[in-house]
Amino acid sequence: MKFLLVTLIAHGPDPVTGRTKSTTERFREVVADAVLAEELGFDGFGVGERHERPFLSSAPPVVLSHIAARTSAIRLFTAVATLSLLGPVRAFEDYATLDHLSRGRLELIIGKGNGTAQARLFHVTPEDQWERNREGYELLRIALVAAVTSRIRVGSGAVQLGHRTPLDVVGQFGLIDALHPGRIDLGLGRSGQRRAEEAEKAGKAVPERRGPGGPAGSGPADPRPGGAGPAAGRKAGLSTSGTGPTAGQGKKGRVVDGLLIPPPFDHSVLVTSPRLAFQTSLLQQPGEGAGVELWILGSSGGRSAQVAGERGLPFAANYHVSPSGVLEAVDAYRAAFKPSQALAEPYVIVSADAVVAEDDATARELAKPYGLWVRSIRSGQGAIPYPTPEQADAHVWSEEDRALVADRLDTRFVGSPEAVADGLDVLRRVTGADELLVTSITHAHADRVRSYELLARAWHGR
């Protein structure tokens, strides 16, 4: 017989004192319970999943990852993972990662777990609850890194909002921030959405988008410019009465050459809606009041740079993947910048790829596989396992191949500590970056660690 403990992380007033603990206090209490359970000899500790009041268990992988970092032997399990609210592939990836990092201690219990409140919140129906494939839980690794460090900032660069729902992102990052206040950065990008927009421009078929209400067109209107909502397919009709709440509470519209231009919608009507009040009452996300530092990632001077500037948010320019657009991106961001509560003036982070070794020749040898790896991505083959220097030497390069990866190879910082530090300083000066975000890709982990050590020593010694 085994004895297990489980929690749904209920969050409410203490029955004796009447005091409600903060979100941070409650999460730390759960982690402490798990540590105590191991000390007392219990065989397992489980975390359930709920997305409604009075529970804080909206992101079990994040909680379990922190518990895994604080314990060594107790089994970890879900009770249960509600796959009808998650993307099955993504859930598999995150829980598999947790299992590896906890050294095989995870037991995954799955179910659909759709109570009435959760079903309403996620617009789950009996017809689609078994088929829903929603992206989820990218943040497990971030939580693990934060759990085993104490000072360094940890974050994403970036969460692709084209593949995620805001509810997921807020819940997960808010939870991590509650566990590690003031250390979490949230970088946002829109990679998936941008691909869809480019496909639309090219006249290609775009896969059906699934929103909170199922396929696009069955739920709320698409918020993107030109996006179609459920009313898009209705026969157009004109009304110039200008009455009714959706017409601006009595304000009249105007007709331009026979086209009705209605008055702006008055959202105050929605604020008093009983349905909206009910949905709001369900949301007890850890993200409420979280101190997460929000960033916007961009590769050009397009919408992401403009949104970051207009909202007064920090901006991350993607030099290590799209070097040709870095100056355009930071210029567009600064031109659009408006002071906000977060920032009084623009703040820019620029990414770079660097490989450092004791001397230039050794660094170039370590950097050899990069071109072959980038080629596999840009040729449409798909990212191959990162090659060894020997495999890179064996590849026969065509001129077409070289041209395909030239920009990425030419803008990579490879060499001795002093040479790479000098190059990064140029990048900082030309872009006006306030921070540099460095990634180092090598075949051997020890070489990557050594690259970090040499770069840190050279940079901090300036």
**Bridge pairing between strands 348-356 and 214-215:** unpaired
Q: What is the pTM of this model?
A: 0.57
Pair 149, 176: CB distance under 8 Å: no
Pair 76, 46: CB distance under 8 Å: yes
Rg value, the chain, Cα? 25
> CATH fold of 191-201+295-460, please?
TIM Barrel (3.20.20)
Closest CA relative to residue 338, chosen from 316, 311, 362: 311
Q: What angle do CA 442, 323, 399 make, to 5 degrees?
A: 75
Q: What is the CATH number of domain 4-153?
A: 3.20.20.30
Domain boundaries, the chain: 4-153, 191-201+295-460
Which three-class secondary structure state does DSSP give residue 44? strand
Whether 4-153 and 191-201+295-460 share one fold: the answer is yes
Pair 58, 175: CB distance under 8 Å: yes
| pLDDT tens by residue, the chain, 462 residues | 678 888 988 888 887 888 988 988 999 999 999 999 999 999 999 998 887 778 888 888 889 999 999 999 999 998 877 766 765 556 766 787 888 889 989 887 766 555 666 666 666 666 655 445 333 334 444 654 666 677 777 777 666 665 556 666 776 677 677 767 778 777 776 654 444 454 455 554 444 433 333 433 333 333 333 333 333 333 333 333 343 334 344 566 665 655 555 566 554 544 565 655 655 555 555 556 666 677 888 888 888 899 999 999 999 998 888 888 899 999 999 999 999 998 999 999 999 999 999 999 999 999 999 999 999 888 888 788 899 999 999 999 999 999 888 888 989 999 999 999 999 999 999 999 999 989 999 999 999 999 999 999 999 988
